């Protein structure tokens, strides 16, 4: 179906595959906010967790986003929350929808390392003609797309009250999840009645419950580190915003480190990294804390460098990866060149050359595989 010029303009403005410009450059933010060259604009940085023990246990880290989402409903700040849950009809897939039910929000707790399309659910809200306020939980690319669409005049903006996100290292494909199941000894996804990538502990095991009553599990390191990270979409590897810079509040794993500062990934009580990025996000975090829904402790922003080594390395390497993609003739989004330069400032020339060569080799291998069908 042919799109109108107005639709084309909206896609150009909003699509993260075309627009990667809206990331922070240190020192260019509004009064009252602090800009960090690596971790973006913020009003508060903290660690914390949901004070509901069940939410904290089921969430991927401390259950901060799930706790905030349930509090938004209970406090009357919004009428519904757009959440993504696993799909009962395809256990390693997802479905998204807006809900006011605390149990459904809880069912959406935990990271899902598989394809998702939460913004599709917004079309259902349009069709309903409901004017109630909605909070949206989505990946950084989903939130950035929605923020840009609203700024460009999309009428859904009249409904969306709060944008919540999380740190993201990319979305693995369905092929990757099928490989994960095979590694667990499950050949057919139809055998799986319930699946979880993370949660029920921190970091929590990957678990597949089977129709015969059996269950297969592996660690987070085995599922993400060994298999799924190799199946992340190519565009995710050059995404400028894996840290939710367009969200009101963003959460992540506040990993504990070993003696060298690298995350240990050993099971512990869940702890979330929480960043309030906007005045609204700060207001909501303050209110949720006052109401006892969230408990927090202050955090110096440089401590995130140790908690999130994967994210910091991705951002440091981004400019070089983009250059490699362009050398190989790949289309890439438009970027904020000043931000890219800031990310890589701590990389030596030797490290930059090594990253460039490694990226080119990977792209050449992918091209050869594609040419062989």
Taking the C-alpha atoms of residue 246 and residue 109, their distance in angstroms, rounded to an integer, is 21
- What is the C-alpha separation between 194 and 169, in angstroms, rounded? 24
Q: What is the pLDDT of residue 96?
A: 96
Q: Tell me how many degrees the CA angle 173-219-63 measures, rounded to the nearest 5.
A: 80
Most distant CA atoms of the chain, gap in Å: 59
Mean pLDDT, residues 230-257: 94
Lowest model confidence (mean pLDDT) among 5-19, 84-98, 310-324 = 5-19
Query: What's the confidence (pLDDT) of residue 152?
Result: 85
Do 274 and 46 meet the contact criterion of CB atoms below 8 Å apart? yes
Give the rounded percent of residues in the chain with a pLDDT score beyond 90.
Answer: 78
Backbone angles phi, psi at 51, to 5 degrees: -80, -10
Taking the C-alpha atoms of residue 246 and residue 231, their distance in angstroms, rounded to an integer, is 26
Q: Write down the residue that tokens 């190519």 correspond to.
A: 234
Does the pTM surpass 0.85? The reply is yes
Confidence of residue 20 (pLDDT cuts 50, 70, 90): confident
For tokens 């990294």, the residue is 273
Three-state secondary-structure class, residue 316: helix
d(CA 113, CA 226): 13
For residues 47 and 12, the model is more confident at 47
Q: How remote is the C-alpha of 62 from its chain's centroid?
A: 15
Task: Please report, to the nearest 10 degrees, the dihedral formed by the alpha carbons of residues 135, 312, 113, 42 taken in order.
Answer: -10
Q: Is the pLDDT of residue 3 over 80?
A: no
Q: Is 259 exposed, middle or buried (0-12, 13-18, 19+ CB in 10 A)?
A: exposed
Q: What is the mean pLDDT of residues 226-233?
A: 95
Q: What is the mean pLDDT of residues 200-205?
A: 92
pLDDT on residue 29:
57
Q: H or E stretch including 127?
A: helix 121-128
Angle at 163 between CA 161 and CA 164, to 5 degrees: 135
**Banded pLDDT at 135 (limits 50, 70, 90):** very high
Q: Is the pLDDT of residue 88 over 70?
A: yes
What is the C-alpha to C-alpha distance for residues 60 and 44, in angstroms, rounded to an integer?
21
With beta carbons less than 8 A apart as the criterion, state whether 66 and 48 touch.
Answer: no
* Mean pLDDT, residues 25-35 taken together: 69
Q: Find the distance separating the first CA and the last CA of the chain, reported in whole Å.
A: 28
267-309: per-residue pLDDT in tens? 899 999 999 999 999 999 999 999 999 999 999 999 999 999 9
The encoded tokens of residue 143 equal 């939130």
Does the pLDDT value for residue 28 go beyond 60?
A: no
Question: What pLDDT digit, counting tens, does each position of 137-155 carry?
Answer: 999 999 999 998 888 888 8
Q: What's the CA gap between 143 and 353, in Å, rounded?
A: 33
Residue 119 in contact with residue 141, Cβ under 8 Å? Answer: no
**pLDDT at position 373:** 66
165, 136 in Cβ contact below 8 A? Answer: no
Q: Is the pLDDT of residue 257 over 90?
A: no
Residue 26 has a pLDDT of: 55
Average pLDDT in the 91-120 region? Answer: 95
Confidence grade of residue 99 (pLDDT, cut at 50, 70, 90) = very high
Q: What is the per-residue pLDDT for 5? A: 76
13-22, 92-101, 125-134, range with greatest mean pLDDT: 92-101
Q: Which residues of 95-133 are buried (b: 16+ CB within 10 A; e: fewer)?
A: bbbbbeebeebbbbbbbbbbebebbebbeebeeeeeeeb
Distance between CA atoms of 144 and 118, rounded to whole angstroms?
Answer: 13
Q: What percent of the chain has pLDDT over 70?
A: 96
> 10 Å Cβ neighbour count for 326?
12
pLDDT bucket at 370, cuts 50 / 70 / 90: confident
């Amino acid at each position: 179906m042919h799109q109108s010029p107005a639709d084309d303009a909206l896609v150009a403005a909003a699509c993260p595959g075309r627009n990667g410009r809206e990331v922070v450059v240190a020192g260019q933010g509004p009064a009252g906010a602090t800009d960090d060259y690596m971790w973006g604009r913020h009003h508060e940085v903290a660690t914390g967790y949901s004070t509901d023990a069940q939410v904290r246990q089921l969430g991927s880290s401390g259950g901060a986003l799930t706790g905030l989402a349930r509090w938004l409903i209970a406090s009357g700040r919004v009428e519904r929350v757009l959440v993504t849950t696993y799909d009962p009809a395809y256990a390693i897939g997802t479905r998204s929808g807006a809900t006011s039910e605390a149990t459904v929000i809880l069912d959406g707790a935990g990271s899902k390392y598989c394809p998702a399309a939460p913004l599709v659910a917004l079309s259902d809200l349009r069709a309903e003609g409901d004017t109630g306020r909605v909070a949206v939980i989505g990946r950084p690319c989903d939130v950035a797309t929605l923020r840009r669409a609203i700024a460009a005049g999309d009428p859904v903006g009249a409904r969306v009250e709060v944008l919540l996100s999380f740190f993201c290292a990319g979305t693995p494909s369905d092929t990757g999840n099928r490989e994960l199941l095979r590694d667990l000894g499950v050949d057919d996804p139809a055998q799986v009645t319930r699946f979880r990538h993370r949660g029920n502990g921190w970091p929590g095991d990957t678990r597949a419950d089977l129709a015969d009553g059996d269950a297969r599990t592996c660690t987070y390191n085995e599922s993400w580190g060994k298999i799924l990270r190799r199946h992340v979409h190519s565009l995710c590897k050059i995404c400028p915003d894996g840290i939710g810079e367009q969200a009101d509040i963003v959460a992540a794993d506040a990993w504990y480190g070993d003696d060298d500062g690298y995350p240990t990934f050993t099971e512990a009580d869940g702890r979330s990294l929480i960043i309030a990025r906007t005045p609204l996000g700060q207001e909501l975090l303050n209110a949720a804390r006052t109401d006892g829904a969230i408990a927090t402790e202050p955090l110096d922003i440089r401590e995130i460098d140790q908690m999130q080594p994967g994210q910091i390395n991705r951002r440091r390497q981004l400019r070089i990866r983009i250059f490699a993609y362009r050398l190989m003739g790949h289309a890439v989004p438009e970027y904020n060149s000043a931000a890219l330069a800031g990310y890589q400032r701590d990389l030596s020339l030797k490290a930059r050359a090594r990253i460039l060569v490694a990226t080119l080799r990977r792209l050449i291998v992918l091209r050869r595989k594609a040419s062989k069908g």
